[in-house]
Structure 1
Amino acid sequence: MNLSDAIYKNSIRRSDFPAIVEPDGTYLSYMEYELAVQNWAILLQKVGVKNGDIIGVNLKDTSDHLIALFAVPRSGSVILPFDWRWTDDEKRRLANFFRPKAILSEPDDTFLEVDGFWKHIAVDANWKNSLGKIDAGKQFSSSTNPNLLLALSSGTTGTPRGPMITHQQFLARFLIYFISLSFSERDRYLCATPLYFGGCRGYCMCTLFSGGTVLLYPPPYDVDSLVSFANKYSATRCFLVPTLLRRLMCIEGGSSENPVFKTLELLFSTGAALHAEERAELMDRFCKHYINFYGSTDGGGCTTLGWDDPASVANSVGKPVFGAELQIIDPSNNLLPSGRIGRIRYKHPGTANCYYNDPEASAKTFVDGWYLPGDLGWVNEDGYLFIAGRESDMIIRGGANIYPSEIEHTLMNNEKVLESAVVGIPSREFGEEIIAFIILKDEKNKIDSKELVKFCQKHLAPYKIPKEFYFLKALPKSGVGKVLKKELEKLRPK
C-alpha cells in the first residue's frame, strides 16, 4: 500500500474541498493538491530518484512541505525530515549519516551552497513550473516501497536516531488518531507547531489522508493572533505543546459557556504534563475537551488522559490507546504488579521495529516486539499509567532510588511555583545529591529556599528533599516542551 493513494481518491470525491489553508487565507483544493503531489513525484523520478531512495525534506512550514510529505512516498522514496532552522553544519551531519539521494530545500537556504554527495533541489518557481499539469483524474502509479519515513528522534551522539516507519505502521497510527482523537474528514486541524515535529507532521498527514482541512498557522506568532485565526477558519482540532498552552493561558477571558476557541472540539498535547489546575483551567476557558497524549516518535501513541477521566488521576498520562499493549517490567524483564515502579514497554501495530543503520540502539530499544521508550512508571489498579521519570534521570542517593517527577510534582503544588525540574549531581557522601530548578509564577511574589524546604518537609521523606534550589526565568526545553536536563546541569553556578 501507499498512503499517497488517499490524496488521489480525495481529489476525486472532494475535488473542490480545501485541503490546505495558508495563514493569509489562500488555499489549495484537493484537486490542486493532488496535481502538485503528482507533479513533484514525477519530477523526483526525472532527476534520478529510484524506489527506496531517501529524500531530505528541508522546507519551511508551508503548503510546499505538505506537498512533499505525500510526493516523496508517491515517487517510491523515503522521507527524511530536516528542521529548516538548523545550521548548515547540523544539516550536513544528518545528511552524512542517512545519505539521502536528494534534498528539497527553500531557494534562499544557504544549505544549497554546501557540497555533498546528495543532489540539491531548490523548490523554486522553476521546480514548480517545470512540468505541465497532469490530466485531472488520471492516477499516477504509486510505488509499493513499504518504507515511508525516517521519523527522527533524539540520539546520544549528537545525530538523531532514525526509526524506519512503514506505510502500514503509519496507517496503524492514523487508526489510533481516528479512534482516540476522533479525527475525520469533517475536521479542520489547526497546525500551530512546526511540521518537523513528529506529532504535528502525523496529525497533518492524517487530516489530509482522511479528507479534512489543514489550517496552517506555524510559529512564530502571538497567541492572540492564533486564537483569531482559529476562530476565523473554524478550527475543530489543535495540538499544542505545554509551553504554548501556558502562553495561551495568559489570555484573559473565556468560560465554559463562551470559550476562547469558539469552534474547537478537541485540544490535545504531548510532552511534559500540565498541573491538574492548569488542565482544569484549559477545559473551563479554552476547550472543554482536552486530552494529554503520551507516546513517542519511535513508538507512536501509548496512552491518553481525557477530559472525562476523574480528577483523582489528573497527574497520570491515562490508559492505553486503541490496539496498544502496555506493561511495567523489572530489569530482568519480569512483569511487575500494579503500584510498582519499573520500566515501561508497549507495542501496537504502529510501533517501529528498528533504527536505521544502528543495530546496537535497536537491540536495546526494540525487544521481542516491544518498544522501550526509556521511561519509568507504574500502573494503578484501574489501569492508569503514571510516569516516574526517565530511566536515565533516576537519582540514586545513599542507595535509595529517587524519581525526580515525584519531587517536581510536589514542588509544583506550591502556589508560588509555576514549573520545577529536579536533577542529581555527584556527591562523595551519598553518591548523588538532589538539586531543584524553580520557575516562579510571579517574580513579585517570591519564595526562598528555606520556605521550599519547609514545604517539602510536609510532603516528602527527608532523603527526597533537594539540597539546593536555583531560581530561573525559564527552563531549557526541546521543541515539544520536554525539559533538557543535561542543559540544566550547566546552569548551576560553579
Structure 2
Amino acid sequence: MHIAELPELRARRDADGPCTADEASAMDNAAFARRVRRAAATLRARGIGRGDVVALLLPTRRTSSSRSSPPGGSVRRSPVNPALTEGEVRYQLGDAGATGVVTAEPSPRVGWLTVAELDAAHEDTAAPGTDADALALLIYTSGSTGRPKGVMLDHANLAAMAGMMIETARLSEADHSLLILPLFHVNGIVVGVLSPLLAGGRVTVAGRFRAETFFDLVGAVRPTCFSAVPAIYSMLAELPDRIRPDTSSVRFAACGAAPMPPALIERFERRYGIPILEGYGLSEATCASTTNPLDGPRKPGTVGLPFPGQQVAVMDPQGRILPTGATGEVVVRGPNVMRGYLGRPEETARALVDGWLHTGDAGRLDEDGYLVLVDRIKDLIVRGGENIYPKEVETVLGDHPDVLEAAVVGAADPRLGEVPVAFVALRPGASADAAALLDHCRARLARFKAPTEINFVDRLPRNPVGKTDKPALRARTTAVTVAG
C-alpha cells in the first residue's frame, strides 16, 4: 500500500473507527478521508499539482487534514517551524521553491491559504499518485555551515521507516499515539502520526506541552505510547511527589533527539512505570536508526540496536568499517536513507558515500551490537531536542558592528541538556553590552537559537593551527539553568 492511499483504505475498512483527535474535536476514518479529499481539491484549484512544494506554517494541532494526514502522492510538503523568524521562514520557502503556504490565519500574500480554505472545497475524487520514488517531504535541518538544508525524503523512505517502527514497537490497531512533539520534526510525523495510523491505530495531538497537565491528558485519552525528548522527561520526573498518575495504558515511551542520562531514565521509569526506549537517528535517515528494544535488554547509556532493515556501523576517516569497541564516525545504510539535500549536490556527495549515510557523529558498538554515542563530530548543540549549529549564531553575532569575533559552544543544562553560550571579542572602542547583543540575536534567530549568556573576552583562544579552540571555551562554561 502507498502512503497516499492510507486515508481511503482506513475509511473503507472502518468508516466509524477513531483516527485523529485533539483537545477540541475528533475525526473518524471517514471524516479524515473527506478532509484529505477537500484539501486535495483546494490545492488542485489553486494550480498546485505534481512536483510542487506546499509549506505548512502551522502550530502543532490537528488543524484539519493538513498536519495529520500522510503526504499526498504528488504534492511535496515542507513543514516550517513556527518559532522561526520571518527571515528564516523566507529563506526556507525560497530554498524549497514553495508554490503554496498553508497557515492558521489569513495572509494577503499570494499563494498563502488557511486551513479553513483547505476544508472548504468539494471533495476531490481523483486517485492520488502512487509513485514510491516521488518526493514526499522536505525536512529542513541546519548544516554545519549554518545554512539550513532541505532533506529530501520520498514515499519509499517514509514507508520503510514506518514499517520498521511498526515491527520494532509491535504497533497494531489497538495502539493510540499521544503526539507531544512538533510536526515540523520528522519524529513527530513518522513516529507520532504515520506509524500508528499505518498500523491501524489512532493519534491524539496534545498541542502545546505542559508538564503540569500532561498526565491529566494521559488519564483522559488513555494512550498506549508517546515520543519525547530528554528535556520533557526531565520536567516530568521533577513534578511534585504528590502527582501519582495512572499510566497503566502506556506500553512504552520513545526518546530521541539527544542523549538521555541513565540516571534520568532510571528515575522516570521507577516513578511512572513506563519503559523508555531510547534511540538515535536524524532527519537524513527518516528519523531513527537504532533503539533500545521493547523486548530484550534495554541498556541505559546506549542508544540501542539497529532497526530491522538498517545497517549501522562505525568507520574510520578512510571509510573502513571498524571492529567492535573501536570509536569512529557512525554510518547508516538502508531504505530509509534520504535521497539527498535539495539543490546541494556537493554536500549530498559528502554525506552519501557508497550507500552509507555519514552522520557526523562519533560512537562505538559494544559487544552486543548496541550503539554508544561518544561525541558529535560536528559542533551541534541540542537544546531540549532542538538542533542549534554554532556557526549560524556566530554569523549573526559577527554581523553586529561592534563585534570583532564570536564563538558559540554548548554548555550543560540540567533540564534542556545543552544551551548555547557565546564568547565575544568586541572591536576596539566598541561599547555594546550583553543585552544589546542578545537583542540583536533574538531579532534574527528563532528564540531557541539565541545564546543564554554572552561572555566578553579580549580575544578568542586559538589552537596551534590557528582555529578557535572550542574545547578551551567549553571548559570555561558552567551549568546554566534556563527559566521558562
Regarding TM over 0.5, the answer is yes
- Cα–Cα, structure 1 residues 242 and 428, in superposed 2: closer, same or farther, change >3 Å? closer
Q: Matched residues in 2 for 1:309 and 1:127: separation?
A: 45
Corresponding residue for 1:360?
346
Matches within 5 A, 1:210-289: 210-219=199-208, 221-253=209-241, 260-289=246-275
Q: Judge conservation of contact 2:219–2:245 (CA < 8 Å) in 1.
A: no
- Contact conserved, 1:422 with 1:434, CA < 8 A, in 2? no
Residues 32 and 65 of structure 2 are in contact (CA less than 8 Å); yes or no, is this contact kept in structure 1? no
> C-alpha separation between the residues in 2 aligned to 1:418 and 1:52?
38
Q: Determine which of 160, 167, 171 is the counterpart of 2:159.
A: 171
Given that residues 3 and 70 in structure 1 are in contact (C-alpha distance below 8 angstroms), is that contact kept between their aligned partners in structure 2? no
Residue 359 of structure 2 aligns to a residue in which SS? Answer: coil
Query: Cα gap change, 1:206/1:433 in structure 2, threshold over 3 Å: closer, same or farther?
Result: closer
Does the 8 Å CA contact 1:266/1:287 hold for their aligned counterparts?
no
Deviation at 1:184, TM superposition (A): 2.0
What is the distance in 1 between the residues matched to 2:188 and 2:416? 26
Question: What aligned pairs does 1:349-428 form with structure 2 within 5 A after superposition?
Answer: 349-393=335-379, 426-427=461-462
1:29 aligned onto 2:17: no
Q: Which residue of 2 aligns with 1:202?
A: 190
Residue type at the aligned position of 1:83: N
Q: Which amino acid aligns with 1:314?
A: P
Aligned AA for 2:336?
G
Instruction: Give yes or no for contact 1:151–1:198 (8 Å, CA) kept in 2.
Output: yes
For 2:160 and 2:76, how far apart are their aligned partners in 1?
18
Which range moved further: 58-67 or 270-279? 58-67
Residues 17 and 175 (structure 1), Cα distance of their counterparts in 2 relative to 1, 3 Å cut = same
Gaps in structure 1 of 5+ consecutive residues: 395-410, 438-465, 477-494
Q: Distance in 1 between matches of 2:416 and 2:39?
A: 47
Sort the Cα spacing of 1:65 and 1:291 in 2 relative to 1 into closer, same or farther, 3 A: farther
Q: Provide the TM-score with structure 1 as the length reference.
A: 0.76
Q: Quote the residue 2:12 is aligned against.
A: 12
- When structure 1 is superposed on structure 2, of 194-203 and 147-156 the one drifting more is 147-156
Query: For 1:89, which of 66, 69, 87 is the aligned residue?
Result: 87
Aligned residues: 411
- Distance in 2, matches of 1:71 and 1:419, equals 32
The structure showing larger relative contact order (alpha-carbon pairs under 8 Å, at least 6 residues apart) is: 2
- 1:231 touches 1:262 (CA, 8 Å); kept in 2? no
Give the secondary structure class of the aligned counterpart of 2:284. coil
Alpha-carbon contact 2:10-2:200 (below 8 Å) kept: yes
The aligned counterpart of 1:63 is 62
Cα distance between partner residues in 2 of 1:61 and 1:40: 18
Which AA in structure 2 matches 1:44? Answer: L
SS at match of 1:161: strand
**8 Å CA contact retained: 1:254, 1:285:** no
Aligned residue for 1:182? Answer: 170
SS of 2:112's equivalent in the other structure is strand
Q: 1:71 to 1:386 in 2, by over 3 A?
A: closer
Q: Which residue of 1 aligns with 2:41?
A: 42
Q: CA deviation at 1:427?
A: 4.0
User: Would the aligned equivalents of 2:181 and 2:187 in 1 still touch at CA under 8 Å?
Assistant: no
> Cα offset for 1:87?
2.6
Structure 1 residue 371: deviation in Å?
A: 0.7
User: In the alignment, which of 301, 304, 317 is matched to residue 291 of structure 2?
Assistant: 304
CA distance in 2, matches of 1:51, 1:33: 22
Shift of 1:158: 4.4
| Structure 1 residue 436 displacement after superposition | 7.5
* Pairs within 5 Å for 1:97-176: 97-108=95-106, 112-114=107-109, 119-124=111-116, 126-131=117-122, 140-145=126-131, 146-176=134-164
The answer on whether the counterparts of 2:50 and 2:75 sit within 8 Å (CA) in structure 1 is yes
Distance in 2 of aligned mates of 1:295 and 1:242: 14
Q: 1:113 to 1:337 in 2, by over 3 A?
A: same
Q: Is the 8 A contact 1:189 1:236 kept in 2?
A: yes
Matched residue of 1:374: which SS? Answer: strand
1:147–1:164 CA contact under 8 A, matched in 2: yes
Determine if contact 2:20/2:203 at 8 Å carries over to the other structure.
yes
Runs of 4+ residues over 6 Å off in structure 1: 420-425
Identical pairs, percent: 20
TM-score (norm 2): 0.77
2:168 and 2:294 in contact (8 A); partners too: no
- 1:329 is displaced (CA, Å) by 1.0
Q: Secondary structure at the match of 1:104?
A: strand
* Residue identity in the other structure for 2:23: P
